[in-house]
Chains A and B, each alone.
Chain A
Amino acid sequence: MDTYFTRDHEWIRVEGTIGTVGITAYAVEQLGDITFIELPVLGKAVRQTGMLCSVESVKAASDIYAPLTGKVIEVNHALDSAPEIVNQSPEGEGWIARMEVEDLSGAKNLMCRSDYDEYVRGLA
């Protein structure tokens, strides 16, 4: 089980060919209180860096990009009525979607946790 990060602050946790996607604590901090997550449609095919879905806060809207290429197989409907879960637990309960990853080799374009942490420190 490996977790990878994008420069746009998404994370993906890969178990076998299944990847769970969400946004990072840093992204959540930038957005503020999240008010709505436009969940992707089940079955949606996405390419790495292609648009997966979007999140809204009071004063911002932000697109979420697919960390890897694949197909959406499950979405977190708990977020429909309680988007604040993403604020409370961005890398846990606040996951957004699961995807069947088509091409794991795309992970070479992503960061591991320590690289990502350093990347975020550089943004401050």
Chain B
Amino acid sequence: MELIFEKSVPGRRAVRLPMSDVPRAGDLPDSLSRTEAPGLPEVSELEVVRHFTELSRRNFSVDTTFYPLGSCTMKYNPKALEEAVRPFARSHPLLPFLPSGERFVQGSLGLIHELTRLLAEITGMDEFSCQPLAGAHGEMAGMMMIAAYHRSRDDRRRYVVVPDSSHGTNPATAAMVGYEVVTVPTAPYGDMDLDAFRKAMNPEVAAVMMTCPNTLGLFNPHVAEICDIAHRNGALVYCDGANLNAVLGKVRPGDIGFDAIHVNLHKTFATPHGGGGPGSGPVGVKKHLAAFLPSPRVERRADGSYVIGEGGEESIGRLANFFGNFGILARAYAYITMLGREGLIEVSERAVLNANYVMARLKEWYDLPFAGPCMHECVFSASRQMKQEIHAIDIAKFLIDRGFHPPTVYFPLVVREALMIEPTETESRATLDSFIDAMIEAAKLAGTDPDSLRRAPRTTPVTRLDETRAAREIRVCHQGG
């Protein structure tokens, strides 16, 4: 398919701008002027529409296909959420920074404040900031607060401990905040090896970062003990809240002993993932970290009005242009409002039901490296299929031909040939069954006709793409028309 640039014809134009009602200004001096107009496409409006409509048809998405991408919680995004955010489109984020300006944005400020209270209750934390713009950004806020906490106590610490099953963002975040990373292996039972963890702990460890439930879809029964060991060493414990969808109303990380958490609103609270973002990663903390929260913050005065609080000297400061991805915050607020207490509990119960159902029906066909009831996702290994030289990626591509987005493959890194399936609560048994049937068909084909898997996908606009070539002959910007 042609690029929009390749459809360009000089002199063509889509959108007409309003006529000017003011005199033309004099030209900028040459030293400041652009000599040539930027090489943007010149196309008609219909060409723009056809182009992007055609592109959209080359995507799998939740609205078109089952999308059990593990760790990403690709649940259905209720359409009402899109409507819910529209009335806020014009609110300017600098208004509350003007003298007495906050009185003109009480709705937006109130929404943010109410959302922080809801998230605090859901996670068992004391305070939240909605500024972080994605999960990894929330982690960074959390680790910065932990660093500031130790600094405030004049306690120099060097290390952050993470399990080897962690999301890559955890160690990457720790490094961005200036820590050295210590990785603890996963024990055969699927959780961080407790003995290795004990050995890794010492008074130089600033924090432990853990996903709860973990990335293998398991709830670590030792999680409270881990928090306790960390605390006894003066370290704080950070919860990667990416998997909160499994435990709404069941477990609150704040009750267990975690000191800080981020919540991926786009996952648990159903906002569209946008082909890679925007997400939103509000960060929550217990009281002892509250002074370090990012600023500015939205505060509620005794009279019920909302104002901007700049935070004290201990605040880690500003982390984003304004108040976070407000449009995502508004959608998540709308979702929580609609589902309510019972609805959210049901979310987790059915997410866990669906994952266990998939696991039960597939476990005779695929190796399950960590057996036992799973939470909201299950992780299989294609190690059995490896004997026919069939890899997880071949199964993934076959699923595309059957009309399913593949599970997450090759993550977590601790599972060889990992296939990580997260069905989410919004899928019906019938959809799960047809997906399971396709997975079983793939397992059978691995024995009978492995080449058919290696040839997949055949139904997509392109067949398998040469990623090595892309990385060797780097072409990231189109040259020419």
Interface, chain A (partner B; CB < 8 A): 32-33, 35-36, 56-59, 83-84
Asked if residues A35 and B410 are in contact (CB atoms below 8 Å), the reply is no
Q: Contact mask B454-481 → A, CB, 8 Å, 1/0?
A: 0000000000000110011000000000
A5 to B295, CA, bound (A): 53
B424-481: which residues lie under 8 A (CB-CB) from chain A? 467-468, 471-472
Most buried by A among B410, B467, B471: B471
A58 to B471, CA, bound (A): 7
A83 to B468, CA, bound (A): 11
A42 to B201, CA, bound (A): 38
Complex interface: chain A residues within 8 A of B410 (CB): 59
Interface, chain B (partner A; CB < 8 A): 410, 467-468, 471-472
Cβ-closest 5 pairs across A and B: A35-B471, A33-B468, A58-B467, A35-B472, A58-B468
* Minimum Cβ distance to chain B for residue A17 (Å): 34
Identity of the chain B residue whose Cβ is nearest the Cβ of A35 in the assembled complex: B471
Identity of the chain B residue whose Cβ is nearest the Cβ of A84 in the assembled complex: B472
Having A32-B468, A36-B471, one finds 13 other A-B pairs with CB under 8 Å, namely A33-B468, A35-B468, A35-B471, A35-B472, A36-B472, A56-B471, A57-B468, A58-B467, A58-B468, A58-B471, A59-B410, A83-B472, A84-B472
Identity of the chain B residue whose Cβ is nearest the Cβ of A32 in the assembled complex: B468
A36 to B472, CA, bound (A): 7
A58 to B472, CA, bound (A): 9
Identity of the chain A residue whose Cβ is nearest the Cβ of B471 in the assembled complex: A35
Complex interface: chain A residues within 8 A of B467 (CB): 58
Complex interface: chain A residues within 8 A of B471 (CB): 35-36, 56, 58
Complex interface: chain B residues within 8 A of A84 (CB): 472
What are some 15 contacts across the A-B interface (CB < 8 A)?
A: A32-B468, A33-B468, A35-B468, A35-B471, A35-B472, A36-B471, A36-B472, A56-B471, A57-B468, A58-B467, A58-B468, A58-B471, A59-B410, A83-B472, A84-B472
A59 to B468, CA, bound (A): 9
A56 to B467, CA, bound (A): 13
Identity of the chain A residue whose Cβ is nearest the Cβ of B470 in the assembled complex: A58
A56 to B472, CA, bound (A): 10
Identity of the chain B residue whose Cβ is nearest the Cβ of A33 in the assembled complex: B468
* Minimum Cβ distance to chain A for residue B468 (Å): 4
A35 to B410, CA, bound (A): 19
* Minimum Cβ distance to chain B for residue A82 (Å): 9
Complex interface: chain B residues within 8 A of A32 (CB): 468
Identity of the chain A residue whose Cβ is nearest the Cβ of B472 in the assembled complex: A35
Complex interface: chain B residues within 8 A of A56 (CB): 471
Complex interface: chain A residues within 8 A of B468 (CB): 32-33, 35, 57-58
Most buried by A among B410, B467, B468: B468
A57 to B467, CA, bound (A): 10
A1 to B471, CA, bound (A): 36
* Minimum Cβ distance to chain B for residue A31 (Å): 11
A32 to B472, CA, bound (A): 13
* Minimum Cβ distance to chain A for residue B183 (Å): 14
* Minimum Cβ distance to chain A for residue B248 (Å): 34
A32 to B393, CA, bound (A): 15
Most buried by B among A36, A58, A83: A58
A22 to B196, CA, bound (A): 33
* Minimum Cβ distance to chain B for residue A80 (Å): 11
A121 to B389, CA, bound (A): 20
* Minimum Cβ distance to chain A for residue B98 (Å): 48
* Minimum Cβ distance to chain B for residue A74 (Å): 23
Complex interface: chain B residues within 8 A of A58 (CB): 467-468, 471
Complex interface: chain B residues within 8 A of A35 (CB): 468, 471-472
* Minimum Cβ distance to chain A for residue B348 (Å): 33
Complex interface: chain A residues within 8 A of B472 (CB): 35-36, 83-84
A77 to B472, CA, bound (A): 15
A45 to B452, CA, bound (A): 51
* Minimum Cβ distance to chain A for residue B406 (Å): 15
A56 to B471, CA, bound (A): 9
* Minimum Cβ distance to chain A for residue B8 (Å): 32
Complex interface: chain B residues within 8 A of A33 (CB): 468
A100 to B117, CA, bound (A): 63
